[in-house]
Amino acid sequence: MSSSSAAAVPGGTPADALRRNRILSSKLYFDVPGSKAPVVYSTAYDIAFLGIEKMHPFDSSKWGRICRFLTKEGHLEKNRVVEPLEASQEDLLVVHTEAYLNSLRSSFRVAAIVEVPPLTLIPNWLLQQRLLYPFRKQVGGSILSAKLALERGWAINVGGGFHHCSAEEGGGFCAYGDISLCIQFAFVRLNISRVMIIDLDAHQGNGYEKDFANDGRVYILDMYNAGIYPFSGTETDDYLDQLDKALKVAQTRFQPQLIIYNAGTDILDGDPLGNLKISPEGVVIRDEKVFKFAKDQNIPLVMMTSGGYMKSSARVIADSITNLSQKDLIQLGSQPG
> Do β-strands 154-157 and 301-304 pair in parallel, antiparallel, or remain unpaired?
parallel
Of 161, 155, 140, 166, whose CA–CA distance to 224 is shortest? 161
Catalytic site residue 164? yes
Q: Which of 96, 163, 164, 203 is catalytic?
A: 164
Assess whether pLDDT exceeds 80 at residue 248.
yes
Query: Nearest Cα to 30, choosing from 151, 177, 135, 138?
Result: 151
Separation CA 76–CA 92 (nearest Å): 31
User: How wide is the angle at C-alpha 69 spanned by C-alphas 225 and 316, nearest 5°?
Assistant: 20
Specify the amino acid at residue 273: L
Q: Which residues contact 45 (CB under 8 A, 6 or more apart)?
A: 63, 64, 134, 137, 138, 141, 158, 159
Q: What is the pLDDT of residue 48?
A: 78
Question: Torsion over CA of 309, 320, 257 and 196, rounded to 10 degrees?
Answer: -30
Spatial separation of the C-alpha atoms in residues 261 and 163, rounded to whole Å: 11
Tens of pLDDT, residue by residue over 14-64, are 989 999 999 999 999 999 999 999 999 999 999 876 565 555 555 678 899
What's the Cα-to-Cα distance from 333 to each of 103, 148, 294, rounded to whole Å? 43, 16, 20
Q: Which of 251, 253, 307, 260 is nearest to 283 (CA)?
A: 307
Mean per-residue pLDDT, 243-267: 92
Q: Is the pTM of this model over 0.85?
A: yes
H or E element, residue 302: strand 301-304
Q: What is the pLDDT of residue 127?
A: 94
The shares of helix, strand and coil residues in the chain, as percent rounded to the nearest 5, are: 45, 10, 45
Query: What mean pLDDT value characterizes the chain?
Result: 88
Least confident of 82-86, 202-206, 225-229: 225-229
Q: Work out the average pLDDT over 322-336.
A: 86
